[in-house]
Chains A and B, each alone.
Chain A
Amino acid sequence: MDILPQLILNSIIAGAIYALVALGFNLIYGATKFFNLAHGVLSAVGGYTVFFFSKSLGLNFYLSVLLGVLLAGLIGYLLDKFIYLPLRKRKASNMVLLVASLGAFTVIQAIIAILFSSQFKTLSQNVGQQKIYEILGGVITQTQLVILVSGIAIALGLILILKYTLFGKAIKAINNDEEVAKIIGINTNKITGYVFFIGSAIAGWAGILVGLDTGIQPTMGMGLLLKGVIASIIGGVGNVYGGFVGSFLLGFVENFGIWKISGEWKDAIAFGVLIVFLLFRPQGIFKK
């Protein structure tokens, strides 16, 4: 039973990583109602931007992190402005938007691989010298603590924004009835642009933290995206709160699921949970 506290901590940390991906994904889905597959690659954009500025150019680490978050946000914003918005104006179906986002994902991932090679890299400044904290019988690194705290903080922040600000309520209004939102004077294109920026910036932040925790590679986005999407479906797609809870549920199911068996089963367990929810509770735990 000594392993139990560590298992719980591992589940929470995994949940927090998935939550960081799911939060941005759900925010964007909530405003646009389509699965933005390019969301995943923006985590790689964040990670590689930090790598470029801090390791290749020797820039201050924290400034590099800021640039990583902003660049991920900017690329998300530009994807909306130049690809998704023109398609939405032409009344393109969600399938078309999905394929376009897959195209954007592939292009950006390829550019990253060309610029930085496909080799695994680490963002950690002092490998092996990270602070370690003991919590309730388990151990957690400094990076993992930041993942946990930032995941909770961002989730709280988004929930408060959606509940108490005009901007947040406008996002809900657009989700409810975009045409009427336009009619009453909401500049829906502008609001959606901001949503893409914020959601993508969060994905960039997730990529940076994963890079610090385990490392970066050009293909890191798809794995993170899939887990974020599964967490969103478990919690209720488009529901920021639901995606947050679904992420931790997924983290626990995965880590406890492989307690007695090989860790290679982790993804199989995750997708098994996805299939169960799609069959029996497709609207998720918290119906929108």
Chain B
Amino acid sequence: MKLWLMLGWWSRIWENKMDEKEILLQLKNIKVNYGGVKALAGVDIEIDEGEIIALIGPNGAGKSTVLKAIFGLTNFQSGQVYWRGKKISPVSYQMVKRGASFVPQGRRVFSDLTIKENLEMGGFAVGDKIIIKQRIGSILELFPDLKKKLKKKARTLSGGQQQMLALARGLMTDPKVLLLDEPSLGLSPKIVKEVFAKIKEINLQRKTAVVIVEHNIKSLFEIAQRVYLLDKGEIVEKGSPQKFSDGQIIKRIFTGR
């Protein structure tokens, strides 16, 4: 009798575990200090498959630090990062192998390499030259402007084209989650619209989750599904873009009034 009860108990636990959806990426209570300054003071963030998540906040709120902590570019003093429910210690090239891709701010392409070489480098972690060639082909369908200039050095591209190249390079490993740090920085409004449209297209076509740190809130809210508002290293508000649509919360945090 006791054995049957135990079996029943274990099978219920197992069913519950099967019902639990494995979150793609989770940060729990992440704390980052830079020489005594609290960059992140215990941040909890969840990113699920196919979502577009916005991280917004004033300068110095810790938004970019969140992305760097996920990618192992900055050490965190406490807290945990989980990938599909498994605790990990992020190291950048290992995060790439897991399925994360980081596009840093400032259109940081390899200026001395051609567009084709930049894309090949984006696929370096893949290793297989044939797969890399195939991926370049499929990614260029999303970025037809780059197709025409494959043999040109990246330094010859305009700012907007360099941002597109950085995005395209970020897709070469076919990531499950794409981390974008201020993709609209230094770009004209027309190009910003194109960049955000491209991000949305990537999300819809490839089901890639996207985490975007941005100051351009209007463009961001047109594509984001969930928003985290950070201030002084803490998450002060979170929810759908509609929660922030009247601007009151954002105004309070950004202006202090």
Question: Which residue of A is nearest B118, CB measured?
Answer: A173
- Chain B CB within 8 A of A184 CB: yes
Cβ 8 A contact of A172, one of B71, B104, B113: B113
Q: Which residues of A contact B112 (CB under 8 A)?
A: 172, 175-176
In Å, the complex CA distance between A268 and B61 comes to 59
Given contacts A181-B121, A185-B125, 20 further A-B contacts (CB under 8 A): A166-B127, A166-B129, A169-B117, A169-B120, A172-B117, A173-B113, A175-B112, A176-B110, A176-B111, A177-B108, A177-B110, A179-B104, A180-B110, A181-B110, A182-B92, A183-B71, A184-B102, A184-B121, A184-B122, A186-B125
Closest CB of chain A to B115's CB: distance in Å? 13
In Å, the complex CA distance between A173 and B109 comes to 9
Closest CB of chain A to B132's CB: distance in Å? 8
Report B's interface with A, CB cutoff 8 A.
71, 73, 92-93, 96-97, 101-102, 104, 108-113, 117, 120-122, 124-125, 127, 129, 132, 169-170, 172-173
Closest CB of chain A to B189's CB: distance in Å? 26
Q: Which residues of B contact A169 (CB under 8 A)?
A: 113, 117, 120-121
On whether A166 and B73 interact (CB within 8 A), knowing A176-B113, A183-B104, the answer reads no
Closest CB of chain B to A167's CB: distance in Å? 9
In Å, the complex CA distance between A166 and B127 comes to 8
Q: Which residues of B contact A183 (CB under 8 A)?
A: 71, 73, 92, 102, 104
Q: Which residues of A contact B125 (CB under 8 A)?
A: 184-186
A-B pair count, CB < 8 Å, reads 65
| Cβ B110 vs Cβ A187 within 8 A | no
Q: Which residues of A contact B71 (CB under 8 A)?
A: 183
Q: Which residues of A contact B122 (CB under 8 A)?
A: 184
- Chain B CB within 8 A of A147 CB: no
- Chain B CB within 8 A of A170 CB: yes
| Cβ A182 vs Cβ B93 within 8 A | yes
From 193 to 232 in chain A, residues with beta carbon under 8 angstroms from any chain B beta carbon are: none
In Å, the complex CA distance between A183 and B104 comes to 8
| Cβ B120 vs Cβ A185 within 8 A | no
Q: Which residues of B contact A180 (CB under 8 A)?
A: 104, 108-110
Q: Which residues of A contact B129 (CB under 8 A)?
A: 166
| Cβ B121 vs Cβ A170 within 8 A | yes
* Number of residues of chain A lying within 8 A (CB) of chain B: 17
On whether A184 and B124 interact (CB within 8 A), knowing A166-B129, A169-B117, the answer reads yes
Question: Which residue of B is nearest A176, CB measured?
Answer: B110
Report A's interface with B, CB cutoff 8 A.
166, 169-170, 172-173, 175-177, 179-187
In Å, the complex CA distance between A166 and B130 comes to 12
Q: Which residues of B contact A170 (CB under 8 A)?
A: 121, 124
Q: Which residues of B contact A185 (CB under 8 A)?
A: 92-93, 96-97, 124-125, 173
In Å, the complex CA distance between A169 and B117 comes to 7
In Å, the complex CA distance between A248 and B73 comes to 44
Interface core residue of A173, A183, A186 (most chain B CB under 10 Å): A183
Q: Which residues of B contact A177 (CB under 8 A)?
A: 108, 110
Q: Which residues of A contact B169 (CB under 8 A)?
A: 184
In Å, the complex CA distance between A186 and B92 comes to 9
Q: Which residues of A contact B73 (CB under 8 A)?
A: 179, 182-183
Q: Which residues of B contact A184 (CB under 8 A)?
A: 96, 101-102, 121-122, 124-125, 169-170, 172
Closest CB of chain A to B166's CB: distance in Å? 9
On whether A172 and B110 interact (CB within 8 A), knowing A166-B120, A183-B71, the answer reads yes
In Å, the complex CA distance between A175 and B127 comes to 20
| Cβ A186 vs Cβ B104 within 8 A | no
Q: Which residues of A contact B93 (CB under 8 A)?
A: 182, 185-187
Closest CB of chain B to A194's CB: distance in Å? 14
Question: Which residue of B is nearest A163, CB measured?
Answer: B117
Closest CB of chain B to A107's CB: distance in Å? 32
In Å, the complex CA distance between A238 and B38 comes to 40
Q: Which residues of B contact A176 (CB under 8 A)?
A: 110-113
Interface core residue of A173, A180, A182, A184 (most chain B CB under 10 Å): A184
Q: Which residues of B contact A182 (CB under 8 A)?
A: 73, 92-93
In Å, the complex CA distance between A187 and B94 comes to 9
Question: Which residue of B is nearest A190, CB measured?
Answer: B93
In Å, the complex CA distance between A177 and B113 comes to 11
| Cβ B110 vs Cβ A166 within 8 A | no
In Å, the complex CA distance between A259 and B173 comes to 59
Query: Lowest 4 A-B CB distances belong to which pairs?
Result: A185-B96, A185-B125, A176-B110, A180-B108
In Å, the complex CA distance between A180 and B105 comes to 11
Q: Which residues of A contact B120 (CB under 8 A)?
A: 166, 169
Ordered by A's residue number, 9 sampled pairs between the chains whose C-beta atoms are within 8 Å are A166-B120, A169-B113, A180-B110, A182-B93, A184-B121, A185-B93, A186-B124, A186-B125, A187-B93
Closest CB of chain A to B172's CB: distance in Å? 8
